[in-house]
Amino acid sequence: MPLDLYNTLTRRKERFEPMSPDRVGMYVCGPTVYDTAHIGNARPVVVFDLLFRLLQRLYPAVTYVRNITDVDDKIIDRSRDSGEPIEALTKRTADLYHADMDALNALRPTIEPRATHHISHMVALIGLLIERGHAYAAEGHVLFSVPSMAEYGQLSRRTLDELIAGARVEVAPYKRDSSDFVLWKPSADDQPGWDSPWGRGRPGWHIECSAMAKEHLGVTFDIHGGGLDLIFPHHENEIAQSRCAHDGEPLARYWVHNGFVTVEGEKMSKSLGNFFTVHELLDEFPGEAIRLTLMSAHYRQPLDFTREGLKQSKATLDRWYQALRGDPAPAAAELPFDVLAALEDDLNSPLAISHLHELASAVNKAGEAEKAAAKGALRAAGDALGLLQQDPEAWFRWAPKGAAALSDADIQQRIDDRLAARKAKNYAEADRIRKELADQGILLEDGPQGTTWKRA
């Protein structure tokens, strides 16, 4: 069946039809690299990774662009407060971001442009907007004139009157209208800056994405994604800039947005003690458990992220990996139809996950002749969701960081000691070893192929 996606621009679910039948272009707003990614930052990464994986199954070529914002006032402020040079700060934070998202089994985007590598494209785009009467220079700044675009507000469904009513009391004196937004701003001597026709300065946030999307995907492309919080003003302003610079041509044909994340029922906040970074959570839980938790609610719905939910996801993955253990090994298999159909219905990940439960049950019930095929179907379904990517034995040997865990060699030695005790019919000693390991979180399972183990 064809792919349907909910389009924020039209507020309805639509049949996805790419501009080219054999190529799809998708742009997703990426991180501003000044701090460690929190769980709210991770949700769009997982959501659009899921979409990227699906698109790759459906189309011969997919270009997935996700930018890195490496020039921003937050970066400047963090560098000033910490004393860490901006280049070092952005490199360290970007590297950590990549490592954390890799741990969630998120594929790297096809192209990952950096804002600082596209300054000339931004300057050219701003020049076009001034030339066409949609922007103006004032006191070293360049601003987009919102009243110059009659259709402004279509994505967020906000009218110009609403924008004026919601404007701050104090408006910068160089603005012609309170709703106008910055395309270029002047830089002090101790701030990053580039030469431009309007003086040394740096770009506004919104123009960065418009310029990078145009450079790598063209004037109009298929899908633009991000979190709900970006609809206004960021995505609304991207549309305004891009359409006004390019004779009204649309920026993207489908706008896809994921819902918000709360933690334990409340908005995430450091003051509430419920602010979790991905890096911290990876010390306590496997990345796949975090990924499964982030997919447990439909991407457009709010997601309440809890430790109990993480524990449940870990237990679910334990069950699925247990079904894949041992002989016979999984056979190559096509993605089961029910899983594909769920994903093609606006990325219905909860329904797809329910089918994985069914597939795991089918493995456990299968006879030896059918078991390899059943395992293959489960593995193929996992691949579509970016799950079940490990060898089952490696999965069960994972331990939280800092845990006083026995080494694999120590565990194997105790298993050998237990086997020797059983051969000597010293069953009390064999039971003692089993209990001792269980008390340390190591569970033994005896089977036809010998004894296997896993961490509880």
pLDDT tens readout for residues 330-386: 888 899 999 999 999 999 999 999 999 999 999 999 999 999 999 999 999 999 999
Distance CA 263, CA 145 (A): 39
Q: Is the pLDDT of residue 94 over 60?
A: yes
Alpha-carbon radius of gyration of the chain: 26
234 annotated as a binding-site residue: yes
209 annotated as a binding-site residue: yes
Q: Is the pLDDT of residue 224 over 80?
A: yes
257 annotated as a binding-site residue: no
**121: three-class secondary structure by DSSP:** helix
Q: What is the mean pLDDT of the chain?
A: 92
User: What are the pLDDT digits (tens) for 10-23?
Assistant: 999 999 999 999 99
The pLDDT of residue 163:
63
The pLDDT of residue 168:
46
Distance CA 179, CA 184 (A): 16
Q: Is the pLDDT of residue 30 over 70?
A: yes
DSSP per position, 142-183: EEE-GGG-TTTTTTTT--HHHHHHTS-SS--TT-SSTT-EEE
Which of 102-111, 128-137, 151-160, 211-220 is predicted least confidently?
151-160
Give the E-state strand segments of 176-232 in sequence order: 181-186, 201-203, 221-227
117 annotated as a binding-site residue: no
Local structure of residue 157 (DSSP, 8 states): T
Q: Is the pLDDT of residue 96 over 80?
A: yes
Q: Among the ranges 6-10, 169-173, 327-331, which has the highest mean pLDDT value?
A: 6-10
User: What are the pLDDT digits (tens) for 276-306?
Assistant: 999 999 999 999 999 999 999 999 999 999 9
pTM: 0.90
98 annotated as a binding-site residue: no
Question: Which residues neighbour 430 within 8 Å (Cβ) at sequence distance 6 or greater?
Answer: 418, 421, 422
